[in-house]
Structure 1
Amino acid sequence: MFKRLVIAIILLSLVVGGIVWFKFFRDGMMAQFLSGMVPPPVPVTAETVEAVTWQPGIDAIGTALAARGVDLAIESGGLVQEILFAPNDAVSEGQPLVQIKDDSERAALAAGQAALGVALADLSRTQTLSERGVGAANTVETAEAQTESARAEVTRAQTALDGKRAIAPFAGMIGIPQIEVGQYVSVGTIYATLQDLGQMRVDFTVPEQQIAALELGREITAATEVGDLSAKGRIIAIEPRVDPNSRLITVRAEVDNPSGKLYPGQFLRVRVALPAEEGVIALPQTAVSSTLYGDSVYVVKPGEAEGELVVDQVFVKLGRRSGARIEVVEGIKPGQQVVTSGQNRLTDGAKVTIDTSVTLDAPAAD
């Protein structure tokens, strides 16, 4: 019995020892195999750093305004007899727009003209008698005063009659009628809006730190959020006061609108062009990786083997942004080659291969 137990223990020890030995043997072989594997180079795109001409600018949010735009109002109240325009009509200066019923004003004008005719006849007769020496001088003066009074009454009646017809104060595009034929309107009632869309203004604000960069006549570009509409213009006014609450200063620019597709009240992105600067190092924003430790780029350099390329992670100090590029103040210099895409798979010292077929990452937002 004891002999059988010993034999069983020996057999069990051999089985367990074989299993343990096989595990260590397998792990050793796998480690040896993996240690001999060399990871393939990572395909990336790269760009050689060059000093470029930098076009700095000030970005702001603006609102479009018509250079000439008004809400048209009724000058003389009454019953609307006729609306002489349609929505979005291009009207000319002095064009009639609304006719208010004017029967009483026409009657008053006719009465005034008749009274003026009588006064003129009396004045002529009185002057004739005075010249013949049969009339008193004060009679002529009285007739002249009556004539002037009648003429003033005609002018008043004509003014009242003209007030019953609303006309366009300037050329432009008229909006939707706010009144209807047959409606009674009072003085000051808004009946439409008139906008001259040929010339537009843009009001925008910039931080007080950038006041020194602003000046009259500086070029600006205004672009809409939709439709890819862009217009160029110049600064025509700078508010001589900083808002104490927002610390912003208001600026007004004037832009051309030949297509007429820029409308008052529209939201615009404005960029004020500043003088160009030479010798600035700028990279695509896709080349920069940002982490809690700072901003960095991967610089490509020759490896130990012939034709081998590796990367070094270099921390940089960034500056201004312009479109899809960003200024690098410190960390790299002209002539170095910097990875512009594919760096999400890189580590410091990784091997790379330059592959122009790799799609660039989307540009970072300003």
Structure 2
Amino acid sequence: MFKRLLIAIVLLGLIVGGIVWFKFFRDDMIAQYLGSMEPPAVPVTAQTLEPVTWEPGIDAIGTALATSGVDLSIASSGTVREILFKANDMVELGQPLVQIDDDSEVAALAAAEAGMSVAQAETNRARTLTDRGVGAANTLEAAEAQLEAARAQVASAKTMVDNKKLTAPFAGTVGIPQIEVGQYVTPGTVFATLQDLSHMRVDFSVPEQQIAALTMGGTVTVTSEVGGFSATGKIIGIEPRVDANSRLISVRAEVENPSGELFPGQFLRVRIALPKEEGVIAVPQTAVTSSLYGDSVYVIRPGEKADELKVEQVFVTLGRRSGGMIEVTKGLAGGDQIVTSGQNRLASGGKVKIDNSVALDAPAEE
């Protein structure tokens, strides 16, 4: 009985040992097989670097303003008798826009003019008598004073009448009427907006580090995300102080708007053109991989075989950006061939093959 049990235990141990040995043997063979295999070359797009002419600039966000733009308000109280404009009318300087009821003011003007006529006649009579030597000098002086007072009353009455007729202070486009005929209005009531759209101003801010690049008369380009508007203008004002809270300096530019596509208050992208620079190394932004360790670019190097290409991950120092390009100040030189897309499947030392017939996926920033 004991002999049979011993034989069974020995057989079981041999079987278990064989299974374990076979497992390790199989794993070793698989590892040797895979270790002898070379990974296929990864297809990438590439570009050979050459020094370029860099067109630097300062990018900012701006707001459009009319060169002449105001909210028109009423100068005196009364009932609106007539509205003499429609929304979006082009009006000229001095064109009547609103008429307020002025019956009492017109009557007061007529009375003042009648009083002035009487005062004028009294003055003429006193002057005639004084010239003949039969009138006292103080009588003429009193008559002349009465005439001046009457003229002042007439001028005051005319001002009251004029305040009832509201006119355009400059030529431009008038907005939507904010009042109605028959409405009683008080001084300061806004009845419409008036904007001169032929010339526009653009207000924007730039960081204090770029103050030295700002010059009066400098060229700016503004673009709108609505309607594809684009225009070129010049800087007409630079605030002589930096905002202590934001560390930004305010700048104002002026642009032409002959087509009237740009409206006050509109969002604009502003770019201040700076002098061109020669011999700058720049790469497409898709060629740069960013990680916690820094920014890097994959550079293509010759492999061990004649027709073999490998990549080397080179850490670089980046500078300014312009459009889809970014300046490299350290790490690359003219003549280097870099990977522009397909980096998400690469590792330093990996094999690659260049295929510029199709753009591959750009690497995602980590």
Normalised by the length of structure 1, the TM-score is 0.88
Q: How does 1:1-366 map to 2 (within 5 A)?
A: 1-115=1-115, 150=150, 152-361=152-361
Q: Specify every segment of 5 or more residues in structure 2 that has no aligned partner in the other structure, as ranges.
A: none
8 Å CA contact 2:223, 2:268 repeated in 1: yes
* Deviations 1:36-85, CA, capped at 9 Å, x for gaps: 32211111111111111111112223222211111212122211111222
**Alpha-carbon contact 1:286-1:361 (below 8 Å) kept:** no
1:237–1:253 CA contact under 8 A, matched in 2: yes
Contact 1:49 1:337 in 2 (8 A): yes
Task: Give distance in 1, aligned partners of 2:319 and 2:106.
Answer: 73
Note closer, same or farther for the CA distance 1:32–1:151 as it changes in structure 2 (3 Å cut).
Answer: same
Deviations 1:248-273 (CA, angstroms, capped at 9, x unpaired) = 22211111222323222233332211
Give the number of equivalent residue pairs.
364
Q: CA RMSD in A?
A: 2.9
Deviation of 1:90 after TM superposition, in Å, equals: 2.3
Q: Do 1:44 and 1:358's aligned partners in 2 also have CA atoms closer than 8 Å?
A: no
* d(CA) in 1 for partners of 2:233, 2:360: 34
Partner of 2:178, secondary structure, is coil
Aligned partners of 1:108, 1:5: CA distance in 2, in Å? 137
What displacement does 1:120 show?
6.1
Paired amino acid for 1:169: P
Report the Cα offset of residue 291 of structure 1: 1.8
C-alpha contact 1:285 1:363 (8 A) present in aligned 2: no
Greater Cα shift, 112-121 or 178-187: 112-121
Q: Alpha-carbon deviations, 1:94-113, whole Å to 9, x = none?
A: 11111100111222333344
Q: Distance in 2 between matches of 1:18 and 1:236?
A: 90
Structure 2 vs 1, CA of residues 12 and 167 (structure 1 numbering), >3 Å: closer, same or farther? same
- Structure 2 distance, partners of 1:55, 1:232, is 16
Letter in 2 for 1:222: V
Tell whether the 8 Å contact from 1:126 to 1:135 is kept in structure 2 after alignment.
no
Identity across the alignment (%): 68
Please report the TM-score for the alignment, with normalisation by the length of structure 2.
Answer: 0.88
Unaligned runs of 5+ in 1: none
